[in-house]
Amino acid sequence: MPVQHDEALRALLESVRTIAVVGIKAGAGDDAYRVPAYMQRHGYRIVPVSPKLDTVLDEPCVGSLDALTETPDLVNLFRAAAHLPAHVDEILALEPHPRAVWMQLGIRHEEAVQRLEAAGIEVIEDRCLMVDHGRLLGSTPPLRIPVHYDFASTVCYVAHRVLTRMAPALDELGIELAWTPVDLISITGYPRGVEVPEERRANARRIGVDLGVAVEPPAYWMDSRPAAAGALLAARSGRIGAEATWRERIWTAVFEERRSAPTEAEVVTWAGQLGFAIDPVELERATGELDELTGEAREAQVTGVPTFMLGRWPFGGIQTEETMAHILERFARKARRGEIS
């Protein structure tokens, strides 16, 4: 019988170190990539098995299981049931045999299970390796990535919407975005209150269209400092989710309701409406803190927004969800290996 009980699954996952993934894919949005990427982030060595790829997850691919030079602890199958008899032949030819074979969710094959179990190999059938690992062994602490932003930036609003859609993928990657406001005007030197050139507005519209976010850029460079200071105070208000709620409120007001960025008095009022209090004196102090954060960002070579700080490397702009997932996954993997400071 395939392994089903949590105690046995936990014991297997705790003992395994090397996982050969048959049918691995290179696309960041594919389960046959996300699952081995997740396992790699949690300390397992991944051996990609694919005749179509050269390298996946920074590991060289082998064309088939019979090309392996050493036996993995676990073989993880991302192959349709019709292909399993041939893969079982390859697995049984390995000496020594792997401890276990894991058939991903939706994959079942009674004859394959019987042959593997007869050879003393544990079999897990129709289960997701990533889901069971997360459920039974928990996850590592999230990797925090600072994101410098300014409420006056249309592209930051687009990034906010894209990254909101990406929330499940970021959770899977174990990434927590640390949204950090800055005063873009102080970095770029654009004068507050003047008209934004139509060329810049048209470019922002194009970015929104390309990323599935309909947006009309403001006609003038607005003063976003009170809203940014409010974000700093929301983050330390003690109210769960207040900072995220504040960002959503400001961006919705500016880019969907077509309102101006809130004044200092409006910041105090809006915060009360959202369930936390902001003192005007604290707001003034937070504005000074915003200046300090902006100076630090400038020293870190931040020249625009949004900018993701991938270690010491500032990555500016926003890309498609698939591209962002690939960039962030690659960074997270290297950071957890200690390859990026």
The per-residue pLDDT for 17 is 96
Which residues on neighbouring strands pair with residue 103, listed in sequence order?
Answer: 77
Which candidate, 3, 44, 5, 4, places its Cα nearest to that of 21? 44
E-strand ranges in the chain read 18-22, 45-49, 55-56, 59-60, 74-77, 100-103, 122-124, 143-149, 175-181, 307-310, 313-316
Query: What is the number of structural domains in the chain?
Result: 2
Tens place of pLDDT for every residue, the chain, 341 residues?
788 888 999 999 999 999 999 999 987 778 898 899 889 988 999 999 999 999 999 999 999 999 999 999 999 999 999 999 999 999 999 999 999 999 998 899 999 999 999 999 999 999 999 988 988 997 667 889 999 999 999 999 999 999 999 988 888 788 889 999 999 999 998 889 999 999 999 999 999 999 999 999 999 999 999 999 999 999 998 887 889 999 999 999 999 999 999 999 999 999 999 989 999 999 999 999 999 999 999 999 999 999 999 999 999 999 999 999 989 988 988 887 777 76
Q: Does one domain contain both 131 and 179?
A: no
> Does a structural domain hold residue 233?
yes
Q: How many CB atoms are located within 10 Å of the residue 144 CB?
A: 11
Q: Give the span between the Cα atoms of 202 and 204, in whole angstroms.
A: 5
Q: Does one domain contain both 178 and 270?
A: yes
The per-residue pLDDT for 204 is 96
Match 């069971």 to its residue by tokens.
132
Q: Does one domain contain both 234 and 314?
A: yes
Question: Helix axis angle, 242-255 relative to 225-235, nearest 10°?
Answer: 160
Boundary-marking domain end, from 79, 110, 135: 135
With contact defined as beta carbons under 8 Å apart, do 122 and 12 qualify?
Answer: yes
CATH of the domain at 210: 3.40.30.10
Q: Does one domain contain both 124 and 164?
A: no
Which residues on neighbouring strands pair with residue 313, listed in sequence order?
Answer: 310
∠ Cα 228 231 232 (to 5°): 95
Q: Does one domain contain both 130 and 148?
A: no
Q: CB neighbours of 93 closer than 8 A, spacing ≥ 6? A: 66
**What would the DSSP string read from start to end of 123-134?**
EE-S--HHHHHH
The per-residue pLDDT for 139 is 61
The per-residue pLDDT for 140 is 65
pTM as predicted: 0.70
Q: Does one domain contain both 190 and 240?
A: yes
Which residues on neighbouring strands pair with residue 56, listed in sequence order?
Answer: 59
Q: Give the span between the Cα atoms of 341 and 334, in whole angstroms.
A: 9
With contact defined as beta carbons under 8 Å apart, do 139 and 132 qualify?
Answer: no
> Does a structural domain hold residue 1?
no
> Does a structural domain hold residue 168?
yes
Q: Does one domain contain both 161 and 115?
A: no
The per-residue pLDDT for 131 is 85
Can you give the C-alpha Rg of the chain in angstroms?
25
Here the tokens at position 94 are 């390995």
CATH of the domain at 86: 3.40.50.720
Boundary-marking domain end, from 90, 117, 135: 135
> Does a structural domain hold residue 208?
yes
Boundary-marking domain end, from 135, 168, 200: 135
Q: How many CB atoms are located within 10 Å of the residue 85 CB?
A: 12
Q: Does one domain contain both 169 and 304?
A: yes
Structural domain of 116: 6-135
With contact defined as beta carbons under 8 Å apart, do 135 and 157 qualify?
Answer: no
With contact defined as beta carbons under 8 Å apart, do 103 and 123 qualify?
Answer: yes
Q: Does one domain contain both 324 and 204?
A: yes
The per-residue pLDDT for 336 is 77
Q: Does one domain contain both 127 and 34?
A: yes
Q: Does one domain contain both 87 and 166?
A: no
> Does a structural domain hold residue 295?
yes
Q: How many CB atoms are located within 10 Å of the residue 50 CB?
A: 19
Question: Helix axis angle, 84-93 relative to 110-118, nearest 10°?
Answer: 10
> Does a structural domain hold residue 341?
no
With contact defined as beta carbons under 8 Å apart, do 73 and 18 qualify?
Answer: yes
Q: CB neighbours of 125 closer than 8 A, spacing ≥ 6? A: 2, 103, 107, 108, 109, 113
The per-residue pLDDT for 341 is 64
Q: Does one domain contain both 124 and 161?
A: no
